[in-house]
Amino acid sequence: MDYTPVSSGVIHSRPPKLLDQVRQQICVRHYSRRTEQAYVGWIRRFILANGKRHPIEMGSDEVAAFLSALATEGNVAASTQNQAQAALLFLYREVLGVQLPWMESVVRAKRPKRLPVVLSVDEVGCLFAAMPEGTTAMMVRLLYGSGMRLMECLRLRVKDVDFARAGICVRSGKGNKDRRVPLPLSLSGPLQRQRARVLLLHASDLAAGRGRVHLPHALARKYPNADREPGWQYLFPSSKVSRDPRTGRCGRHHVSEEALQRAVKRARQQVGILKPATCHTLRHSFATHLLDAGCDIRTLQELLGHKDVATTQLYTHVLGRGAGGLLSPLDRLPASPPAVPAAQDEAHSPEIGVKRATP
């Protein structure tokens, strides 16, 4: 908090700036760093679009006009407009304490219903074969073998992998929920060697006076030395030491997601896969291939961490068949259809014979 002297000699506290208030409220609710960046960006864009007026001087009309312009002029996707609306509603409700009425005048971007991109088993094998052996290739295989999201994989800690039970505990996934996913047996050995390398690296960092890792929420305050323990270290740490933007302390963060995204894109182009496959495509492929192998929908829902089973049922459409195994009627036709006899005139039909004269 800033302090400024006045002419009377008394020091008064200066209230924090608006965007700093937004950041404080986001931290209170334990929102992610990415949510903070997105919300602050949209609020700043909203203020600039209205001539740098303070949001308290504006209301539903300005918010509705801004959101409508995103759809009509900006031609943004529906998810982008929804994110902007969530940021502005958070600003007014949680920071400014203003309840905005439901904005019926907002032009909403229509959200298309699209099926996810899914790779076949052969395409997944070709994708893996094009990647050079190493940590990045192991992480990409882990995405497909466990069905984790990209950031869930990157944020794994050493203690989250249970080799005895062949499982991985995903902490604070989407919706701030924990769940368990399978540990592929083929990756058990490589992951154990990765854990050994992490522990050696952590010991080296401790000797250099570092070795502290970011802990979620208030665990660092509740357990002052937990951030130095081996179990809390990232399973896939960065090769460089960086500074935490919130605490200002130097430490070792997890690897960047760009490394995996580039590796998947490069391998996809190398083997000539025309589908726009990404790291998240491996999660879609995981779900589709499990359903194809006979996995029930409720088990798959738990593995993917879906709140509603209707979200998981999307992959039954990806398979291209319903519960009865529908087959196109075109595919039911015989390969060699029987010859159709030519049409004959009734008067010259051999079965009838020559017409007799009428007596």
pLDDT per residue over 7-31, tens digit each? Answer: 444 444 566 889 999 998 988 887 8
In whole angstroms, give the CA distance from residue 153 to residue 136: 11
Query: Residue 238 has what pLDDT?
Result: 92
Query: Residue 12 has what pLDDT?
Result: 46
Contact (Cβ atoms closer than 8 angstroms) between residue 188 and residue 163: yes
Nearest to 51 by CA among 37, 35, 65, 72: 65
The edge-to-edge listing of strands for the beta sheet with 167-170 is: 161-162, 167-170, 179-182
Structure-token pair, residue 32: 């992610």
| Helices 60-72 + 33-49 axis angle, to 10 | 100
In whole angstroms, give the CA distance from residue 175 to residue 111: 21
Active-site positions?
A: 149, 174, 280, 283, 306, 315
Share of the chain above pLDDT 90, in %: 48
Query: Residue 236 has what pLDDT?
Result: 96
Contacts of 198 (CB under 8 A, 6+ apart): 158, 230, 233, 234, 235, 237
Contact (Cβ atoms closer than 8 angstroms) between residue 95 and residue 57: no
Cα three-residue angle 35-285-302, rounded to 5 degrees: 65
Query: Residue 5 has what pLDDT?
Result: 46
Query: Residue 318 has what pLDDT?
Result: 72
Query: Residue 343 has what pLDDT?
Result: 56
Nearest to 119 by CA among 301, 267, 276: 276
Query: Residue 352 has what pLDDT?
Result: 45
Class of the CATH domain delimited by 113-323: mainly alpha
Contact (Cβ atoms closer than 8 angstroms) between residue 142 and residue 161: no
pLDDT per residue over 176-194, tens digit each? Answer: 789 999 999 999 999 999 9
In whole angstroms, give the CA distance from residue 114 to residue 21: 38
In this structure, how many other beta carbons lie within 10 angstroms of the beta carbon of residue 312?
A: 21
14 SS3 class: strand
163 SS3 class: coil
Has domain 2-95 been given CATH number 1.10.1580.10? no
pLDDT < 70 regions, the chain:
1-15, 102-111, 217-218, 246-247, 319-328, 330-331, 336-359
Q: Where in the chain is the domain with CATH 1.10.150.130?
A: 2-95
DSSP 188-250: HHHHHHHHHHHHHHHHHHHHTT------STTHHHHSTTGGGSGGGSBSSB-SS-EE-TTT--E
Q: Where in the chain is the domain with CATH 1.10.443.10?
A: 113-323
Contacts of 22 (CB under 8 A, 6+ apart): 36, 39, 40, 43, 90, 91, 95
Query: Residue 214 has what pLDDT?
Result: 84
Query: Residue 225 has what pLDDT?
Result: 83
